[in-house]
Amino acid sequence: IQNFQIGYKPFMGYEGTNQIADLVYNSFTLGMEDHLLEIFGGHDTKEVITQSISADSDLNWTKEAKAELNKVPGFVRGKMKRNTEKFARERGFEQISLEVMYAAKEAVGA
């Protein structure tokens, strides 16, 4: 539904050009949201799935391993931590030391 104003709308000059351009633009964009809602399924239709970072990990990190992990740049630190913990679980380690970190790094091929 377009909202037509009851008041005066200029149609000549600079202000008239703005009014006409707004009218044309708004008529083109009117209803464009509906097809996006159909494509993406609307708002809040699905519950957001969050994956917790392994803060409550069952693996213990040694002080040296934590210090080495803190040297890794922040944008890859989480991935390195997850990969190292995955490696340790697969191999049956209960504690992550520097040796386990280096072995996990070699297994990835980095």
Domains of the chain are: 1-50 (no CATH), 60-108 (1.10.8.550)
Q: What is the pLDDT of residues 6-19, one digit of tens each?
A: 666 666 787 888 88
What is the number of H-type helices and E-type strands within the chain?
A: 5, 2
Q: Name the token pair of 25.
A: 């633009």
CA separation for the pair 77, 97 (Å, rounded): 16
What secondary structure letter does DSSP report for 41? Answer: T
- pLDDT-derived band at 27 (thresholds 50, 70, 90) equals confident
CA separation for the pair 1, 16 (Å, rounded): 22
